[in-house]
């Protein structure tokens, strides 16, 4: 296992399973676009109620998107903190948020039992501990958590002394699991209930109505009573949601620690960006002869870090400064988080008013529980049942007290268009070393130039097909990342993450 690997600590459990592409039209009750935890949970729960469900995904296998890059903290303690949710949305909303995430952790356990999924799912305590000197945030969060009836205790000391003296907050009944094995089990359970999966099939257009039509890049169209767009970021709207979500990259490293030296629990601190910590044990990865410590954090706006490798270095020094027995890094990876204005996902009826179109996006760093909430809530909405969380997660909301966040993330996005008027990363293609990429100015436009390990050069337009920002080279993952709304492309230009549904244009000049 090399330190240079950018694979997560989880095996790709569904790699061998390949869904056929959708080359013909199909008809179903519900079409789910996106086979991550939100899409698969929705498909499974709808199929459990006898609905005929089709899932399409741009990846060959289910679970091949951002879900694979989670560190799988199952938490009902909102990571943007209850004090902030109360400030922006009020006390009742914060209480509902806590209850819905608690219900999601319960539901994951129920699904594991009902479907016989062995993924190391277990209940653990979660702990919010102070960044050096930041005790006030702990006290404020304790007051906020108590005010909404959260099961929380204030501890004088952090149960892992390496993380500082405390005080800290202990949230009971949180959880964790191995996400890839959970996703694989969830897919198997959905398939047993008749859910059909079409892989390497990208949804190009969603036309609401009765029926809905989902047109794909493989020629087939899904005609359905309803569609759920459960991609990490919506691919069916150009503007509507993208002004309310901001893409961030987050980083993780994992390496061995002596068995029993770190408690099996969740930890996260009050730093900005914050650090998050958990263990991988043999209950999740049978045959594992040690325990692995996973440390994540070092977040930044996607496409806006000139040296992303440094983020892993920062995490490593932070970890070694606290856990001297942390061994060699076995895994390091990054993932994308879609942040919302109030720390809560957007789940519900599509705000564009397209009939029978639903969406789930804005994981806000709590993708496993938000994805599960999406499955529960969307199943209720599609089945015509009332759900107490519908207003909380409504994609149409624009909380007035989040105006500051709205303005600052919007200004950040707008500022990225300055790239049209600057020079390239390098003056000449000759300066680009093998295995790297750089943006090169040519006349009025810019090119994304990649030189592969053999020295061959691939040239694409550097203009993002979504809304025209200039992509940036990500040397950590060898991708082109858009700094505006988070589209990502392979070094050779093929789109791997929306909202763009198109590849970087070929440069035929
Ligand atoms: Fe919107 Fe690139 S993702 S312009």
pLDDT band with cut points at 50, 70 and 90 for residue 335: very high
Residue 229's nearest CA partner among 330, 351, 130 is: 351
Residue 499 CB–ligand 1 contact under 6 Å: yes
Query: Could you tell me if 473 and 482 are in contact, meaning their C-beta atoms sit under 8 angstroms apart?
Result: no
Residue 246 CB–ligand 1 contact under 6 Å: no
Q: Which residues contact 6 (CB under 8 A, 6 or more apart)?
A: 332, 333, 334, 476, 477
498 Cα to the center of ligand 1, angstroms: 8
Residue 161's nearest CA partner among 261, 245, 77 is: 261
- CA–CA distance, 72 with 449 (Å, rounded to integer): 35
Please give the pLDDT value at position 5.
60
Residue 336 CB–ligand 1 contact under 6 Å: no
What 3-state DSSP class applies to 98? helix
Please give the pLDDT value at position 391.
97
Residue 482 CA: nearest ligand 1 atom is: 2
Encode pLDDT of 441-464 as tens digits: 988 889 999 999 999 999 999 999
216 Cα to the center of ligand 1, angstroms: 20
Query: Could you tell me if 393 and 346 are in contact, meaning their C-beta atoms sit under 8 angstroms apart?
Result: yes
**Residue closest by Cα to atom 4 of ligand 1:** 467
Residue 472 CB–ligand 1 contact under 6 Å: no
pLDDT band with cut points at 50, 70 and 90 for residue 347: very high
Please give the pLDDT value at position 509.
58
Encode pLDDT of 466-480 as tens digits: 999 999 999 989 999
pLDDT band with cut points at 50, 70 and 90 for residue 266: very high
- CA–CA distance, 355 with 147 (Å, rounded to integer): 39
Name the token pair of 367.
Answer: 């993708």
- CA–CA distance, 412 with 474 (Å, rounded to integer): 19
Please give the pLDDT value at position 422.
87
Mutate to test the pocket of ligand 1, among 413, 467, 489 (most ligand atoms within 8 A of CB): 467
- CA–CA distance, 237 with 234 (Å, rounded to integer): 6
Per DSSP, what are the bridge partners of residue 154? 169
- Residue-averaged pLDDT of the chain: 93
233 Cα to the center of ligand 1, angstroms: 11
452 Cα to the center of ligand 1, angstroms: 25
- CA–CA distance, 73 with 11 (Å, rounded to integer): 17
Residue 464 CA: nearest ligand 1 atom is: 2
Residue 359's nearest CA partner among 34, 16, 15, 96 is: 34
Residue 488 CB–ligand 1 contact under 6 Å: no
Lowest-confidence region among 124-128, 323-327, 394-398: 394-398
Please give the pLDDT value at position 508.
61
Name the token pair of 386.
Answer: 């009332």
191 Cα to the center of ligand 1, angstroms: 34
Residue 468 CA: nearest ligand 1 atom is: 4
What 3-state DSSP class applies to 474? strand
Residue 359's φ and ψ, nearest 5 degrees, are -145, 160
For the chain, give the percent of residues with pLDDT over 90: 81
Bigger pLDDT: 241 or 249?
Answer: 249
Please give the pLDDT value at position 361.
95
Lowest-confidence region among 85-99, 229-243, 249-263: 229-243
What 3-state DSSP class applies to 348? strand
- CA–CA distance, 172 with 276 (Å, rounded to integer): 17
Judge whether residue 405 has pLDDT over 80.
Answer: no
Alpha-carbon 409 to chain mean position:
18
- CA–CA distance, 382 with 30 (Å, rounded to integer): 9
Encode pLDDT of 1-52 as tens digits: 444 568 899 987 777 888 999 999 999 999 999 999 999 999 999 999 999 9
Per residue, the 3-state secondary structure of 119-154, as one string, reads CCCEEEEEEEECCCCCHHHHHHHHHHHHHCCCCEEE
Please give the pLDDT value at position 21.
97
- Phi-psi bin for 10: left (phi > 0), alpha (psi -120 to 50), beta? beta
pLDDT band with cut points at 50, 70 and 90 for residue 294: very high
What 3-state DSSP class applies to 506? strand
pLDDT band with cut points at 50, 70 and 90 for residue 432: very high
Judge whether residue 507 has pLDDT over 90.
Answer: no
- The whole-number average pLDDT for the span 330-348 is 95
Judge whether residue 73 has pLDDT over 60.
Answer: yes
Please give the pLDDT value at position 400.
75
Please give the pLDDT value at position 153.
98
- The whole-number average pLDDT for the span 51-58 is 97
- CA–CA distance, 340 with 370 (Å, rounded to integer): 12
Mutate to test the pocket of ligand 1, among 482, 496, 502 (most ligand atoms within 8 A of CB): 482
Residue 504 CB–ligand 1 contact under 6 Å: no
Q: Are strands 276-280 and 291-301 parallel, antiparallel or unpaired?
A: antiparallel
Residue 101 CB–ligand 1 contact under 6 Å: no
- The whole-number average pLDDT for the span 146-160 is 97
């Amino acid at each position: 296992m090399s330190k240079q690997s950018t694979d997560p600590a989880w095996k790709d459990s569904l790699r061998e399973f390949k869904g056929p592409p959708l080359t013909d039209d199909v008809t179903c009750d519900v079409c789910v676009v996106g086979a991550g935890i939100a899409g698969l949970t929705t498909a499974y729960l709808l199929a459990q109620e006898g609905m005929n469900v089709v899932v399409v995904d741009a990846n060959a296998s289910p679970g091949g998107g951002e879900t694979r890059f989670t560190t799988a903290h199952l938490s009902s303690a909102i990571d943007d903190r209850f004090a902030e949710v109360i400030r922006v949305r009020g006390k009742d909303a914060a209480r509902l948020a806590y209850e819905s995430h608690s219900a999601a952790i319960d539901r994951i356990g129920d699904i594991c039992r009902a479907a016989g999924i062995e993924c190391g799912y277990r209940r653990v305590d979660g702990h919010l501990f102070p960044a050096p000197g930041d005790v006030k945030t702990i006290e404020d969060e304790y007051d906020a958590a108590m005010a909404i009836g959260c099961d929380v205790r204030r501890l004088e000391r952090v149960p892992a002394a390496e993380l500082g003296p405390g005080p800290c907050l202990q949230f009971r009944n949180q959880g964790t699991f191995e996400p890839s094995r959970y996703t694989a089990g969830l897919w198997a359970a959905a398939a047993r209930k008749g859910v059909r999966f079409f892989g390497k099939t990208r949804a190009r257009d969603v036309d609401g109505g009765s029926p809905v039509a989902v047109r794909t890049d493989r020629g087939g169209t899904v005609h359905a009573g309803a569609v759920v767009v459960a991609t990490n970021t919506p691919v069916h709207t150009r503007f509507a949601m993208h002004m309310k979500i901001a893409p961030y990259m987050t980083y993780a490293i994992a390496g061995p620690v002596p068995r029993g030296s770190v408690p099996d629990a969740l930890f996260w601190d009050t730093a900005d960006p914050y650090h998050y910590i958990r263990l991988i044990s043999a209950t999740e990865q049978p045959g594992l002869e040690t325990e692995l410590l996973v440390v994540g954090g070092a977040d930044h706006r996607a496409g806006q870090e000139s040296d992303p490798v440094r983020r892993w270095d920062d995490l490593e020094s932070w970890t070694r400064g606290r856990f001297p027995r942390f061994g060699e890094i076995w895994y390091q990876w990054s993932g994308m988080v879609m942040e919302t204005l109030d720390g809560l996902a957007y789940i519900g009826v599509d705000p564009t008013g397209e009939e029978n179109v639903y969406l789930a996006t804005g994981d806000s760093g709590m993708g496993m529980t938000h994805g599960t909430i999406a499955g529960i809530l969307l199943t209720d909405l599609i089945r015509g049942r009332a759900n107490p969380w519908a207003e909380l997660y409504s994609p149409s909301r624009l909380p007035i007290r989040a105006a500051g966040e709205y303005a600052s993330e919007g200004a950040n996005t707008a500022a990225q268009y300055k790239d049209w008027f600057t020079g390239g990363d390098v003056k000449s293609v000759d300066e680009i070393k093998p295995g790297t990429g750089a943006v090169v100015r040519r006349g009025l436009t810019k090119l994304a130039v990649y030189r592969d390990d053999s020295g061959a050069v691939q040239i694409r337009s550097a203009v993002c097909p979504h809304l025209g920002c200039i992509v940036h080279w990500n040397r950590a993952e060898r991708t082109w990342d858009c700094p505006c709304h988070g589209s990502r492309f392979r070094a050779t230009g093929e789109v791997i993450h929306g909202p763009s549904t198109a590849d970087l244009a070929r440069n035929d000049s």
